[in-house]
Chain A
């Protein structure tokens, strides 16, 4: 569990304590029982953490998108409850933006890392678009059905199901809006299927090279692609040697998944660079989020200019009485204030209407950024 909070800068320590109190009260757990498990990030580190979580760089399997969904849900709850203020709103929106950039600009989520999704990925590699393709399920099983679900959402339009027990076949077929076919017609089914998922408890080969050849001839050499998730295997490995047929058993799939995970980790390094640059940008935009420092810096700047000019010309005025000194000072300051008044009003209204670009451009005009760095 993670809690995002934006306490005022000067009361940061109090903020973390209050969150801990809240946890302890709401879950009725004593502080000591969980305090050593707490971790907290502040400033840059906090922003980076949120960005990395949303981009699923912080997940067990890098690139799995579930976390993003969780962040979305938590955020919409916060919005409903009215607990997300200006800073958090912006942070979370930016986090969504970063997650999107990471997904589209790196291949972090491009390759499958689960067996059931492998069918879709390999199917796409062979057939391109899966629209209008036919999948055949031989036997049943959780993994096979999950694969079929993924394939259907990827566009596969027709599902054939065959099983030693016809009743089972009918049941599964009904589930997928597919057709149950008698087991004796396996070869004919194979001829129609582009993708075959085999998962039975049989302890011999069901799909032999001769059946596969016969089917291939019937489908005029159009490639087809077999996944064998049954143990022991149901598809003779020899089938994989026939041109235009591709056979993957569970071991093959697992080794492909391992290599996909390595590929994702390589892509994650590029994603970290994106996150890093976004963190920097976000910090900059946060500065315009709080208008106070900007107004202060602006007043300070103008007053400094007035004082500096006064110092330069002071000698020419000769000796002045303390009263006169004060009058000159007051004159300068009221001039500065009169001039800066409309600017400050404008800044405030820009800020209230959320026009941070406008605020930024005033900062640029007066060179406030430069001064702060010095």
Chain B
């Protein structure tokens, strides 16, 4: 459904531009425009995913095109939740451009080949598979928010320590807010990751009686899981917060990227997403 996706792209682009403007100019009005166009784009995007689902007959999360589109959708959903809870619009000036780029890639990428569509239909037959991929995509989106929050924390903490405030300083949420966002999203992300890995294992064991394939993607995912677990445990037990926790949030996201893209380059059993 290209025209629909293009409208979504346009709405996201407008939202992205306005959230950057809001960030630079500190304008409330631009913030409102960004929120409304984002909500509009998100509604259309949801519709577009549903029409894809009914049209192609498989869950719309398979192959490059669909994965990017779906990832963008989850990012918007996650961002919406963060905004709702913390009113930290500054996140949008990074998240929304990324969302726009993802939808752009999705709208120019080739559709799935017939072979892929068949494979998707084959895999999609078991209901566990879409749950597995959806959970993981949401986990990635949550980790992306952790990453952005960590970067913001590091930038702002550095300026507070150096006592020289650049223009960015006045535009970021407080350290406490950023810290809360990171703590909340890392918990949510890790839970989703755990569930995603578990459903993957169950699905794979029912398919070919193997829980673990030693596939690069699985290894990276396990590392990611351990790292975020360490981050959560440290935060909870040792009051380990601030800069070090933020650094771990950044490193963790590098691992997430490896899981998402790197594993694909290294080849292996997992298809994508």
Contact = CB atoms under 8 A, between A and B. Distances in A.
Interface string B155-198: 01000110111010110011111000000000000000000000
A155 to B, nearest CB: 13
A255 B176 CA distance: 24
A41 interface: no
Nearest to B166: A259
Interface in A205-235: 220-223
Contact of A221 (B165, B173, B176, B240): B240
Nearest to B163: A252
A127 B28 CA distance: 22
Contacts of A125: 156, 160, 169, 174-175
Interface magnitude class on chain A: 20 to 34
A259 B160 contact: no
Contact of A107 (B164, B170, B244): B170
Contacts, number: 62
Interface residues of B, number: 25
Contacts of B167: 263
Contact of B28 (A105, A126, A240, A246): A105
Contacts of B240: 221
A83 interface: no
Contacts of B177: 128
Contacts of B97: none
A256 interface: yes
A111 B166 CA distance: 13
Given A243-B244, A256-B163, A107 B174 contact: no
B158 to A, nearest CB: 11
Interface in B9-35: 26-29
Instruction: Name the residue among B156, B163, B173 with the largest chain A CB count within 10 angstroms.
Output: B163
A223 B175 contact: yes
B3 interface: no
Contact of A126 (B26, B29, B160): B160
Given A126-B175, A128-B176, A244 B241 contact: yes
B242 interface: yes
Given A104-B28, A248-B163, A252-B163, A128 B173 contact: yes
Contacts of B174: 124-128
A255 B238 contact: no
B175 A111 contact: no
A252 B165 CA distance: 11
Contacts of A110: 26, 170
Interface of B: 26-29, 156, 160-161, 163-165, 167, 169-170, 173-177, 238-244
22 contacts: A107-B26, A107-B170, A125-B174, A126-B160, A126-B175, A128-B174, A220-B239, A221-B238, A221-B239, A221-B240, A221-B242, A222-B239, A223-B175, A223-B176, A223-B241, A244-B242, A246-B160, A248-B163, A255-B164, A256-B163, A263-B167, A263-B170
Given A126-B176, A128-B174, A223-B175, 10 more contacts: A105-B29, A110-B170, A126-B175, A127-B175, A129-B176, A243-B242, A243-B244, A252-B163, A255-B163, A256-B163
Interface of A: 104-107, 110-111, 122, 124-129, 220-223, 240, 243-244, 246, 248, 252, 255-256, 259, 263
